Amino acid sequence: MPDQHPGEVFIVSGPSGAGKGTLVQALMQRMPDLWLSISATTRAPRPGEKEGVHYVFLAAEEFECIRAEDGFLEWAEVHGNRYGTLRSAVEQRTDAGQTVILEIDPQGAEQVKRTMPSATLVFIAPPSFAELRRRLEKRGSETPEQIERRLHRAVAELKIADTYDYVIINDDVTRATEELACIVRSHAQQRITDVKD
């Protein structure tokens, strides 16, 4: 089916620990007109995480029901938990012409790109593997075994970076956020030019 939604979709993806969440939060502060999709997950909330703000926290059966009804634009199992983008919320925003940001893992990014070929893929890469390990350890929210699993997966995820539309190396949050904002702005500018033409 053709991809007919008027609002643009930007997918911010990359390995866990690359700093996608921090960059996306900083982007939202700079560009509050963007709409950030709140994912559903079966993972338990971390301290300080709020229902409906960081995630929609669901029991495994609730997640399964939505999945069975095709309610996810994409979904994936990441590090033993399920995560999904709620289709109706995203489609409502794109139908209204709003620019949507999805912060999701590379498996989900691939699924969205298949169903919405006009979506723009932005890969957030850590400056180095050692830095990725340091960030995951500093975050303190994963056990040593979980950190090893995430690092193992990151090796495979880093290899797909060159299939994305853009790659941002997150060695400096301010600079990386500016790059992300530039990408979004330049697409908006291009759309205005296309409409005029």
Residues that bind ligand 5GP (CB under 6 A): 16, 20, 39, 43, 74, 76, 78, 83-85, 103-105, 107-108
Closer of 81 and 186 to ligand 5GP (Cβ): 81
What 3 state SS string does 84-144 have? Answer: EEEHHHHHHHHHCCCCEEEECCHHHHHHHHHHCCCCEEEEEECCCHHHHHHHHHHHCCCCH
Q: Are 14 and 165 in contact (CB under 8 A)?
A: no
Shortest Cβ 29–ligand 5GP spacing (Å) = 19
Q: Is the dihedral of CA 66, 69, 74, 80 positive or negative?
A: positive
Closer of 74 and 179 to ligand 5GP (Cβ): 74
Closer of 98 and 107 to ligand 5GP (Cβ): 107
Q: Closest residue to ligand 5GP, Cβ-based? A: 108
Shortest Cβ 71–ligand 5GP spacing (Å) = 12
Closer of 2 and 52 to ligand 5GP (Cβ): 52
Beta-strand relationship, 35-36 and 100-103: parallel
Distance CA 77, CA 83 (A): 6
User: Residues for the chain: how many in total?
Assistant: 197
Shortest Cβ 35–ligand 5GP spacing (Å) = 14
Shortest Cβ 85–ligand 5GP spacing (Å) = 4
Distance CA 64, CA 68 (A): 6
Beta-strand relationship, 120-125 and 9-13: parallel
Backbone angle region of 97, left / alpha / beta, with phi > 0 → left and psi within -120 to 50 → alpha: left
Shortest Cβ 49–ligand 5GP spacing (Å) = 8
Closer of 88 and 190 to ligand 5GP (Cβ): 88
Shortest Cβ 107–ligand 5GP spacing (Å) = 6
Closer of 120 and 188 to ligand 5GP (Cβ): 120
